């Protein structure tokens, strides 16, 4: 696999600290959550469209449908369902424990806490709870082929577990602060590492390759997203200064 950086553009949002998460919506627009809890909607080329008027300190976001997103609020022990076009909170799911990282798969929400991965339906009912071991709060995960892959920043590891919670593999080579991750069409895992590297890990967790280094101009990448149906994706750094569009090619 080779990663080609097509464009690198300045993001027109005044981020005062750093960002928590970035996702790409199905229509190509981008949502960014700031560390302070603000949520921004951007155009596909990084221009600010609007700040979403959602109360509270947002942490992570995932798309549910065309105009609907779910956002985690760890300090409130809630997940809020928000309509982007109407700018309204349509539902508040109350939890009994903290949820930070968030993903939406197969009509279910997959949430990460301090030592738990929980799968819930949109009514808040727990479908499955998986205990995990880590050093601090977890934020980034992907759900692929009935496996949950998540990064442990302070443990310098990427972990893969099955639906029963059993660890399939753990990858620690070349990592010095793994953050955002995504998968390609072959379920390889692409990881943004704050040491200014982007690394791809094979589906089985055995093989790997450094795709981008600091010398390639992408310093401190934090969030990464890949549109499998379009074969391109985006990377942004922790202070949200740039948005890099990339594509993947395979030998």
Write the pLDDT tens digit of every residue in 133-147.
Answer: 665 567 899 988 889
pLDDT digits 0-9 by tens, 80-116: 999 999 999 999 999 988 888 999 988 999 888 777 8
Which domain range does residue 133 map to? 2-249
pLDDT digits 0-9 by tens, 218-242: 889 999 999 877 888 999 988 888 8
Looking at residue 154, its pLDDT comes to: 85
* CA separation for the pair 34, 231 (Å, rounded): 27
Tokens representing 202?
């094979």
pTM for the whole structure: 0.90
61 class by beta-carbon count within 10 Å (0-12 exposed, 13-18 middle, 19+ buried):
buried
Looking at residue 135, its pLDDT comes to: 53
Average pLDDT, the chain: 90
Given a contact cutoff of 8 angstroms between Cβ atoms, the answer to whether 2 and 251 are in contact is yes
Looking at residue 223, its pLDDT comes to: 92
Given a contact cutoff of 8 angstroms between Cβ atoms, the answer to whether 72 and 103 are in contact is no
Looking at residue 136, its pLDDT comes to: 58
* Strand pairing report for 189-193 and 178-183: antiparallel
* CA separation for the pair 113, 79 (Å, rounded): 13
CATH number, residue 37: 2.120.10.30
CB atoms within 10 A of CB 186: 11
Between the CA of residue 201 and those of 39, 47, 183, 239, what are the distances in Å?
Answer: 30, 32, 9, 25
The structural domain count of the chain equals 1
3-state secondary structure of 44: coil
């Amino acid at each position: 696999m080779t990663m080609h950086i097509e464009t690198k553009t300045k993001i027109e949002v005044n981020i005062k600290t750093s960002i928590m998460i970035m996702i790409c919506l199905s229509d190509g627009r981008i949502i960014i959550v700031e560390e302070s809890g603000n949520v921004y909607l951007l155009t596909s080329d990084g221009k600010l469209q609007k700040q979403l008027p959602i109360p509270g300190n947002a942490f992570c976001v995932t798309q549910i449908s065309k105009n609907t997103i779910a956002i985690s609020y760890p300090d409130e022990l809630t997940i809020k369902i928000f309509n982007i076009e109407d700018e309204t909170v349509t539902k508040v799911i109350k939890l009994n424990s903290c949820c930070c990282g968030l993903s939406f798969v197969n009509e279910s929400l997959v949430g990460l806490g301090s030592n738990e991965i929980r799968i819930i339906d949109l009514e808040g009912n727990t479908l499955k709870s998986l205990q995990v071991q880590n050093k601090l709060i977890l934020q980034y995960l992907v759900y692929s082929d009935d496996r949950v892959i998540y990064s442990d920043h302070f443990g310098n590891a990427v972990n893969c577990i099955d639906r029963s919670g059993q660890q399939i593999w753990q990858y620690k080579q070349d990592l010095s602060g793994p953050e955002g991750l995504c998968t390609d069409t072959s379920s390889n895992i692409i990881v943004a590492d704050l040491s200014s590297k982007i690394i791809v890990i094979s589906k089985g967790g055995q093989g790997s390759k450094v795709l981008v280094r600091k010398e390639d101009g992408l310093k401190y990448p934090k969030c990464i997203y890949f549109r499998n149906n379009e074969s391109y994706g985006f990377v942004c750094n922790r202070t949200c200064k740039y948005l890099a569009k990339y594509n993947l090619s395979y030998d």
